[in-house]
Every structure is written in C-alpha cells, then in structure tokens.
Amino acid sequence: MKSTLYEGLIQYILENQERFYRVAYSYTRHQEDALDAVQSAVCKALEAHESIKNADAVKTWFYKILINECLTVLKKRSRLVLTADAAEQETYCEKGYEQGDDLEQELNKLDIDVQGIIKLRFFEEMSLKEISAITGFNLNTVKTKLYRGLKLLKENIQEADL
C-alpha cells in the first residue's frame, strides 16, 4: 500500500511540475526562488510521504507544502538587504506574468492570503473546499476572503481605468 502511494506521489509530482512552478512563481515573482520553493516542496513531500492517510488528498496536501515553502522563501527574501549592484540587475519576467499587467499589479496589492485564495481558485481552478484544506482556513472564511478580494480587485481596476 505505502509503496503504491509513494509511486503515485512521484507520478503526481511529475505530471504537475509545471503547475507547481506556476503557483510558486505567482507567489515569489522570481524564477530562482520559484524553482527553490518547488524543489524544497518536492523534497519535503517525498520525505513525509508516509504521513499521507488518504490517496485522494495528495493534491491538497502537496499544495499546502508548496505554498508554505513559497511563504518561507518570501520571509527569507524580506530579511535580505539589497545592495546597489543587486538593485541595478535586470529582473527576469516570466511569460504570462508581465510586469506591466494591471491585473497582476492590483492583485499584488491585496493581502497575501487573499492573493493565494484568488490564485488557487482562478489560476489553478481549485474548489473552495480544496482551498480551505490547503490554506487551513474555514470554508466560510475562504468564501469571504475570496469575494471581498474580488470586490476590491474590481474596484481597484475600475479606479485605475478612470
């Protein structure tokens, strides 16, 4: 049973690695940080595969690990002080995440937990129940944060268009 679960986890990771990178990049906005977060999440998942009690919960279990790794990377980055040389370096832009995108800019103005809920719901097409399991928020809290975030996003975009 455990060996088939481990093999299933490996298969799931291999099939969805691009999605994991996309989620990590949406949090970190840096190619190297996103790759580091995905790599750390994969390592932690493989090390802790025995803690999976239900094979159907692999998706939410892994995304929870991935998002926690992304948040860890962001915390580490916020502690770093940029030097003048680092500030002058050209930043990497991922296709589909262009720097000038109004939606992206407005989304980044929202709280990090609201951003995560919106990204998981619309970019990763997850159900509210799955998002609740990943974030650890109550289902009603997820709904409230999602709808309030969407309302703020709509208002901010309409203000920007004026």
pLDDT digits (tens, 9 = 90+) for 14-36: 999 999 999 999 999 899 999 99
Among 111, 15, 2, residue whose Cα is nearest residue 55: 2
pLDDT value, residue 33? 94
Q: Is the pLDDT of residue 100 over 50?
A: no
Cα of first residue to Cα of last residue in the chain, in angstroms, is 59
Token pair of 158 as six digits:
């309409």
pLDDT digits 0-9 by tens, 53-75? 888 889 999 999 999 999 999 88
Where do the domains of the chain lie, and which CATH numbers do they carry? Answer: 1-96 (1.10.1740.10), 100-162 (1.10.10.10)
Give the per-residue pLDDT at 95. 53
Residue type, position 14, single letter: L
Q: What is the mean pLDDT of residues 151-160?
A: 87
